Structure 1
Amino acid sequence: SLPVDLKDGNQFGVMQIDETRRIINFREKPADPDPIPGDPGRCLASMGIYVFNTKFLFEQLCNDATNSNSAHDFGKNIIPQVVQTHNVRAFPFRDRDTNQAQYWRDVGTLEALYEANMDLVAVQPPFNLYDMSWPIRTYHPPLPPPKFVFADLREGHSRAGFALDSLIGQGGIISGGRVEHSILSPNVRVNSWAEVRESILLSNVTIGRHARIRRAIIDKGVQIPEGMEVGYDLEADRRRGYTVTESGLVVIAKADATTVPRDLD
C-alpha cells in the first residue's frame, strides 16, 4: 500500500486499515476516496500486488465465477469480498531507513506510462538502473552496442549522430540524427538530419531522414517516413488517426504505421 493524493484516488483501489494494518474496507477506483485518518489530503492506495495461498485463491476465484451478480473483476469483487470475510493485511511500501515511501508508479494510463519512462533519463533518477547493488535480472538479447555515426558539424550541414539525456538500447544506430531526452529500445534507427525529442521509441522503429518527432510513444516496428513530423501539429496527428492525449502526447500504434523501406543511410 502507498499513500497518494486524494484527488488521484479514483485511479486506484483505495483501502482503509486499522492500527494493526488489517484492511477493513476496500473500494476499487471510488469516485469519493476515503482519506487517511489525520491526513485528509491523501488516501491509501493499492499497488496491485497481492500475496495469496494458492488453494485459497483458487477457492475465491471459483466462488466468484458462480456469482451471477459479480462483474468478475479482481479489484471490484474479489478483494472487497475477501476483506469482509477474512484477515487481510496491508504492507506499507516504505524505506526501512527513512520511513519514506519508496519509488513506485502506476502505469495504467498513457500519461503515467510516459512519465514513468521519462523518470529514467533524469541525472539522478528516483529509480536508478545503474545501481549495481540492486541489479535487474532480465534477458539481454545478443545485439551489438549502440552506434553513433556521422560527425559533420560544419555550418549548414549539421549531419551528426548524437544523443543527449537519453537511454539508447542495444543495436540502435543514430545515423546522423539527433536524440534528446528520449528512450530508444533495441534496434532503433534514427537517420540523418532527423530529430527525436522527449519520446519513447519501442524496438525496431525507424525514423526517416529529416523527420521530427516530439513527445511521442511509437510502437514496435513502426517506420516513420522521410520528412514526417509528429507532435508538432496535433490536429494533423489526429487526422492521421493517431491517439493524442489531453496533454498533447502522441501515440502511434502498429496499426497506424506508414511503412517505408529500411534502407541504410
Structure 2
Amino acid sequence: MRGGPSVLGIVLAGGEGKRLMPLTADRAKPAVTFGGTYRLVDFVLSSLVNADVLRICVLTQYKSHSLDRHISTTWRMSSLLGNYVTPVPAQQRLGPRWYLGSADAILQSLNLVHDEQPDYVAVFGADHVYRMDPRQMLAQHIDNGAGVTVAGIKVPRAEASAFGIITPGSDGTQVERFLEKPTDPPGLPGDPDRVFASMGNYLFSTKVLVDALHRDAEDPHSVHDMGGSILPMLTARGQAQVYDFDENHVPGETSVQHGYWRDVGTLDAYYDAHMDLLSDRPAFSLDNRRWPIYTHAGPLPPARIVAGGIASESVISPGCVIRGQVSRSVLSPGVVVAEGAVVQGSVLHDNVRVGRGAIVRGAILDKNVDVPPGAAIGVNPERDREFYTVSGNGVIALGKGQPVR
C-alpha cells in the first residue's frame, strides 16, 4: 500500500471445484464465468487492487490454462512501479509432489514472500462473490498486534457445516476456537442461531505466517490446510483474531448491498448469486464506479434487441442478439436468442445459441452450447435428469459445448 505498510497478496486459486461440475470439468473454479463478463477470480483481485495491494501472486494448479490466460491478458499492472498480478503454477519446489493443501501451496511458494519481504501477507480465496476494502481489516490487525486476522461473516448456524467456524472470545476479536466445517458448533453470545463463518480471507504478519508454515510442515498428522491446520495452530497460541465483515464499508455501496458475500461453491449457490443481480435494487450490484470490478472487455459490439425481441430484469452482455424473449436471466457475450425462443431464469455463458422456438428455463448453460430449434430445457424434469446435471434445487446445468438432447 502506497505510503503505508507493505502488503503482498497471495490468492489461493488451485481448487478443483467438484461441486460446480460440469462448469469446472475443463477449467479451474476461479476461472468460471460470473455475471456475464467476469471470472470469479476478478472479485478478489478487484478488492485487493482497489485497496492498493498491487503485488499479487495467484497460486494455481487444477486445469489452470484459462485462468492463467485470463490473468495474463487482463491483470496487467505498471511494471514501471514494480506492480504485478501474476499466476504462479505449482512448481514442485520442495520435491516431486503437487500441493498437499492450501498451507502447503504457500509453503512451496515462500520464495515469493522472501523476494518481496513484505510487512504483511494477505492470503485470500479466489472463488467468492463480494466487495471488500482490505485496508480496514489491515488497520484492525495492526492496531491489535495480531499474528493473523481472519475475516468472518455471520451466517445461520444451520449452514455451519459448509464453513470454518470462529468462536470469538469475550472481547469479540480474539479467536477462542476455530473449527473446520463442524456439524454442531455453539452459536454466538446473544445470538445463538448464528455463527461466525470464515470467509477464507486472512491477513498475516509475515514472520508469524512463515513460522507457522514451517511448524505445520513438520507435523506428520497435519492436513496442511489454512483453515484445517494453520488457523487452529495460531488460535491455540493466542495469535488469531477475527475481523467482522459487517464492519467493512466499501465506497459507493448502498445499504441493501452492504455486507454481501456469497460462497458460490455449488450449482445452487452459483445460480442464486446470479439471481441476486437482477432486481431493481439488487443485493449485489456489478455497477459501482467507486469500487469497480475489473475484467477483460473484448472487442464486441453493443448488445442488440431486434425483430420484436424482449428482455426484462436481465443482464445482457456485449455481442448478444435477442430476437426472442428473455426474462430474469444473465447472458454472457455473444449469446443469440432466436425468434420465438424463450429464456427464463437462466444463466447463459459465452456464445450460447438458443434456436427458434426453443425454451430454456432455470438452467445454466456453459459456453458454446447450441440449443436446437424447438428444443426444451427445464420443461420436463424427468427428461432433464436423464440427460443433464440437475442440482438439489432443480437447476439444470450443461457443460461446455454439451449437446442438447
Shorter-chain TM-score range: 0.7 to 0.9
Aligned to 2:164: 13
Q: 1:101 to 1:125 in 2, by over 3 A?
A: closer
1:172 aligns to what? 320
Q: Any idea what SS the aligned residue of 2:351 has? A: coil
Name which of 352, 359, 378 aligns with 1:212. Answer: 359
**Residue of structure 2 equivalent to 1:155:** none
Partner of 1:238: 385
Post-superposition shift, 1:21? 0.2
Q: Distance in 1 between matches of 2:352 and 2:192?
A: 46
Q: Given the superposition, is the C-alpha separation of residues 195 and 33 from structure 1 closer, same or farther in structure 2, using an over 3 Å criterion? A: same
Question: Pairwise mapping of residues 86-165 of structure 1 onto structure 2 (< 5 A)?
Answer: 86-95=238-247, 102-150=259-307, 160-165=308-313
Q: Which has the higher contact order (CA 8 A, sep 6+)?
A: 2
Instruction: Please point out which of 15, 19, 22 is paired with 2:174.
Output: 22
* Counterpart for residue 398 of structure 2: 252
Shift of the alpha carbon at 1:101? 6.2
Q: Deviations over 1:205-250 (max 9, x none)?
A: 111221111111111222122221111112111211x111121111
What does residue 157 of structure 1 align with? none
Q: Is the 8 A contact 1:189 1:207 kept in 2?
A: yes
Q: Deviations over 1:54-73 (max 9, x none)?
A: 45434433443443312233
2:221 partner SS = coil
Displacement of 1:92 after TM fit? 0.7
**By how many angstroms is 1:134 displaced?**
3.0
- Structure 1 distance, partners of 2:162, 2:267, is 13
* CA-based RMSD: 2.2
TM-score, normalization by structure 1: 0.85
The verdict on how the C-alpha distance between 1:14 and 1:169 changes in structure 2, with shifts beyond 3 A counting, is: same
Partner residue, 1:196? 343
Q: Distance in 1 between matches of 2:262 and 2:404?
A: 33
| Match of residue 154 from structure 2 | 3
| 1:125-183 deviation digits (Å, cap 9, x = unpaired) | 12222333333333222211101121xxxxxxxxx212110000111111x21110000
> How far apart, in 2, do the equivalents of 1:168 and 1:54 lie?
43
- Identical-residue share of aligned pairs (%): 40
Name whichever structure is richer in helix by fraction.
Answer: 2
Is contact 1:209-1:226 (8 Å) kept? yes
Structure 1: 5+ residue runs without aligned partners? 151-159, 261-265
Unaligned runs of 5+ in 2: 1-151, 250-254
| 2:185 matches 1:37 | no
Are 1:2 and 1:101, in contact at CA under 8 Å, matched by a contact in 2?
Answer: no
Per the TM alignment, residue 20 of structure 1 is displaced from its structure 2 partner at its CA by 4.9
Shift of residue 41, structure 1, vs aligned partner: 0.9
Kept after mapping to 2: 8 A contact 1:179/1:195: yes
> 2:247 aligned with 1:57, yes or no?
no
How far apart are residue 95 of structure 1 and its match? 4.8
Matched, 1:181 2:328: yes
- Which residue does the alignment assign to 2:373? 226
Deviating more after overlay: 125-134 vs 33-42: 125-134
**Bigger CA radius of gyration:** 1
